Amino acid sequence: MVSPSATSPRFFNLDEHAYAAAETRCRTLLARMTLAEKIGQMSQFTSDRDTTGPSIREGYQEDIRAGRVGSIFNAFDAGFTRELQTLAVNESRLGIPLLFGYDVVHGFRTIFPIPLAMASSWHLDNVEAAAHIAAREAAAAGIHWAFAPMVDVSRDARWGRVMEGAGEDPLLSSRMASAQVRGYQGSDPRALDSVAACVKHYVGYGAVEAGRDYNSVDLSERVMRSVHLPSHQAAINAGVASVMTSFNTVDGVPASCNPLLLRQILRDEWHFQGPVVTDYTAIMELIEHGVAADPRDAARQAVNAGVDMDMQDGYFLDHLAELVEADEVSAARIDEATLRILILKDVLGLFEAPYRYCDEAREAATLLAPEHRRKAREIAQQSMVLLENNGLLPLSPAPKRLAVIGELADSQADLLGPWHGNGQVQDACTILQALQNRLSDAEVSYHAGVPIHIHDTEPHTNEIAEAATLAQQADVAVVVVGEKEPMSGEAGSRTDLGLPGQQLALALAVIASGTPTVVVTLSGRPLVLTELAQQPAALLHGWWPGSEGAEALVDLLLGEASPCARLPMSFPRNVGQLPLYYGQLPTGRPVFRENPDPRYSSKYIDSPNTPLYPFGYGLSYTHIDYAQPQLDKTTLAGADDQITLAIELTNTGERDGVEVVQLYLRDPVASISRPVRELIDFQRVEIAAGACQRITFVITAEQLGFIGSDLCWRCEPGQFELHIGAHVEDTQALTFHYEP
């Protein structure tokens, strides 16, 4: 891991003079505001344009006129946002413009693959490009503020919200976070193709117990700082404009009233300057958590802990004034929170031009622009992971008779996935349609197979038999199975990660027909695919690939593009292994030591410890050979020294390929037990067929460090191991010493 930064981050990457000028302007406005108007700026409500939570406040338009609200979310379209902005600018006393927010998680109108899928590409430039296109479209539709990126590290695929993040690894998650912030915010906060980003959920939400959404989190502070905070800090160091609190408790204290998180770490240690907003009704939920007696108490605890804006429940609006009058909340604290919100509005240029994001002509020209769709297709190609290939893929020559089977093959909605912004079902074609369009000279037949319901126990014997018969009559069968959109995402936790309903029986019957079969899986999380992995079939995991996902999938099937994705999250053999991740501690009885005890070691008696498909794994249509890696020296002498690792890669196949070269570290002896592997760097390398390429990694003392039991950062001397290869279980090892 990389040491915590000693430098102060810059809000929206502004220089000190620009920030100071904005602060001066906003302090002048702050001096004119009443207490009620300040509290109004600290209150956010949803419009009725979209619903992302359980309630809508009645009469929010009157709140706008009265200056009782500073931000509206779930309001978009240039015309609609202009209407609401007019209420604030023309009818409230001070004319302070509204800030419009929205969950722009993986696209606004052009929908990209879910973030977990984009993490599978390990292509940070394209991750940044996707966020920038999302920002460009959102800004054109009147939005100023994207509630993204979601950077929660998660190691439990039962949790439905794994689809919003980058998986199990802190380094990959941190680099994804930085790339997304750069994409959303750009280099100029007043540019009309950028929006303010909001990193979420701060913090530990990915570690909810039993993978159950909204559940509690029990983390040691050292694990929280080592695993869960780095991606948040990476976003802040990239200049993210705002932070959203998480729903969960951390060590018994909900994140939305947690002074350790909101004061000590975020402000005192990281020097973050932007506003903190809660998640949907999180202050209200302090009562259900059992730490607040009533709404007044909940508002007091949240604001004093460091929350600047209350999302949706209205507790700040209802109770902060009386809390200030009773000296339970200081007037200075209200000023501090309000000033942060005003500065954000100023930096975005809203005081000078409150309608600058409300341009209907720009909106019409920007949404679903052809170049946006082309990039979405490219990124979808790079995000699908080839798990198994028995030589069937690519389908070349293209089959003359193709059987397409599965309800998901003819679904548009289930390509987009949850949190698809303003993405429209009609913008996507189905996998069936894409195959029919591309194989216009072939006979493409279709059977829906079985219905997809989690609790479906009906055998569907006739439907399965019909599908198998259809497959027998074809040259190739493509079976599309997996999760429907509501089966993952927020409130989509599951205890059974197999294919819902009778889809496994359907796929096995088609394979058993004897027709060469490609199984395509769609989902928002890793699935248990153990039985399918044992079958003589190709297996391609498509995640939820977005607006252009069907076309991208067909590109891969026909060999017009090559799979190059690698897993950002381990796929379990069965759900009993969860939580599952590669960076575990060795334990006192590790299974990987020489001659492990056949029983009394840290393992299961009914399953291997290892995942079905490990972190970093993925196949391609070519083969990359790794030569023996070399170090330029074997001793790292001090904090300013460095070692260079070099390795040659050769593409021995007949197709151009992409290799994601992964570099892991092991610290065998330290003052605390260290992970058996830790990703410290990676490179995504394009190699032409038959070509050889030499790549290098630079290793520094900083990459050897860790947070000790005293919560201090340290780099200890000793012997270290480097492991380099194609995935975490396929590496070559080298050793060196650190002697400071």
pLDDT tens digit sequence for 208-225 = 999 999 999 999 999 999
The model's pLDDT over 140-156, given as tens digits with 9 standing for 90+, comes to 999 999 999 999 999 99
CB 230 within 8 A of CB 170: yes
Parallel, antiparallel, or unpaired for β 253-254 and 385-388? unpaired
Helix (H, G, I), strand (E, B) or coil at 113: coil
Across the chain, mean pLDDT equals: 96
* CA atoms of 235 and 185, how far apart (whole Å): 11
CB 199 within 8 A of CB 243: yes
pLDDT at 595 exceeding the cut of 70: no
Contacts of 288 (CB under 8 A, 6+ apart): none
Q: Which helix (H) or strand (E) element contains residue 379?
A: helix 370-383
Local confidence band at 52 (pLDDT 50, 70, 90 cut-offs): low
The CA–CA distances, whole Å, from 446 to 469, 605, 732 equal: 11, 43, 46
CB 557 within 8 A of CB 196: no
pLDDT at 2 exceeding the cut of 80: no
* CA atoms of 358 and 367, how far apart (whole Å): 14
CB 146 within 8 A of CB 184: yes
Q: Which residue has the tokens 């490990």?
A: 614
Q: Which helix (H) or strand (E) element contains residue 295?
A: helix 295-305
The model's pLDDT over 423-444, given as tens digits with 9 standing for 90+, comes to 999 999 999 999 999 999 999 9
- The pLDDT score that the predictor gives to residue 6 is 47
- The pLDDT score that the predictor gives to residue 273 is 96
* CA atoms of 192 and 361, how far apart (whole Å): 13
Q: Can 213 be counted among the known catalytic residues? A: no
pLDDT at 57 exceeding the cut of 90: no
Mean pLDDT confidence for 296-310: 98
* CA atoms of 471 and 464, how far apart (whole Å): 11
Torsion on CA atoms 86, 91, 92, 97, rounded to nearest 10: 10
Which CATH superfamily, name and number, covers 12-102+193-356? Glycoside hydrolase, family 3, N-terminal domain (3.20.20.300)
The model's pLDDT over 634-686, given as tens digits with 9 standing for 90+, comes to 999 999 999 999 999 999 999 999 999 999 999 999 999 999 999 999 999 99
Catalytic residue among 279, 427, 555, 667: 279
* CA atoms of 146 and 229, how far apart (whole Å): 21
pLDDT at 54 exceeding the cut of 70: no
- The pLDDT score that the predictor gives to residue 678 is 98
CB 551 within 8 A of CB 509: no
* CA atoms of 284 and 658, how far apart (whole Å): 49
- The pLDDT score that the predictor gives to residue 4 is 60
Q: Which two tokens stand for residue 259?
A: 């002074």
Which CATH superfamily, name and number, covers 375-557? Glycoside hydrolase family 3 C-terminal domain (3.40.50.1700)
CB 657 within 8 A of CB 687: yes
Q: Smallest Cα–Cα separation from 231: which of 310, 134, 119, 139?
A: 119
The CA–CA distances, whole Å, from 236 to 10, 79, 103, 306 equal: 8, 33, 19, 16
327: left (phi over 0), alpha (psi -120 to 50) or beta: left
Task: Delimit the domains of the chain by residue range.
Answer: 12-102+193-356, 375-557, 623-738
Tell me how crowded residue 712 is: count the other CB atoms within 10 A of its CB. 7
The CA–CA distances, whole Å, from 695 to 119, 627, 647, 679, 686 equal: 22, 11, 6, 17, 11
Tell me what percent of the residues of the chain surpass a pLDDT of 70: 97
Residue 619: DSSP 8-state: B
Residue 91: DSSP 8-state: I
Q: Count helices and strands (H / E) in the chain.
A: 22, 27
* CA atoms of 619 and 459, how far apart (whole Å): 34
Local confidence band at 594 (pLDDT 50, 70, 90 cut-offs): low
Q: Architecture of 623-738 per CATH?
A: Sandwich (2.60)
Mean pLDDT confidence for 251-256: 97
Residue 50: DSSP 8-state: -
314: left (phi over 0), alpha (psi -120 to 50) or beta: left
Local confidence band at 490 (pLDDT 50, 70, 90 cut-offs): very high
Mean pLDDT confidence for 605-619: 96
Q: Which two tokens stand for residue 337?
A: 């929170």
pLDDT at 380 exceeding the cut of 90: yes
**pTM of this prediction?**
0.97
The model's pLDDT over 235-250, given as tens digits with 9 standing for 90+, comes to 999 999 999 999 999 9
Q: What is the 3-state secondary structure (H, E, C) of 467-502?
A: HHHHHHCCCEEEEEEECCHHHCCCCCCCCCCCCCCC
Q: Which two tokens stand for residue 54?
A: 């359980």
* CA atoms of 274 and 245, how far apart (whole Å): 13
- The pLDDT score that the predictor gives to residue 548 is 98
Mean pLDDT confidence for 263-292: 98
The model's pLDDT over 160-197, given as tens digits with 9 standing for 90+, comes to 999 999 999 999 999 999 999 999 999 999 999 999 99
Local confidence band at 284 (pLDDT 50, 70, 90 cut-offs): very high
Task: Kindly report the backbone phi and psi dihedral angles of residue 186, in degrees, each rounded to the nearest multiple of 5, phi listed first.
Answer: 65, -160
Q: How far is CA 706 from the centre of its chain?
A: 24
The model's pLDDT over 496-547, given as tens digits with 9 standing for 90+, comes to 999 999 999 999 999 999 999 999 999 999 999 999 999 999 999 999 999 9
Q: Which two tokens stand for residue 339?
A: 């000033």
The CA–CA distances, whole Å, from 175 to 67, 155, 210, 638, 682 equal: 39, 18, 27, 26, 11
Find residue 276's DSSP bridge partners: 243
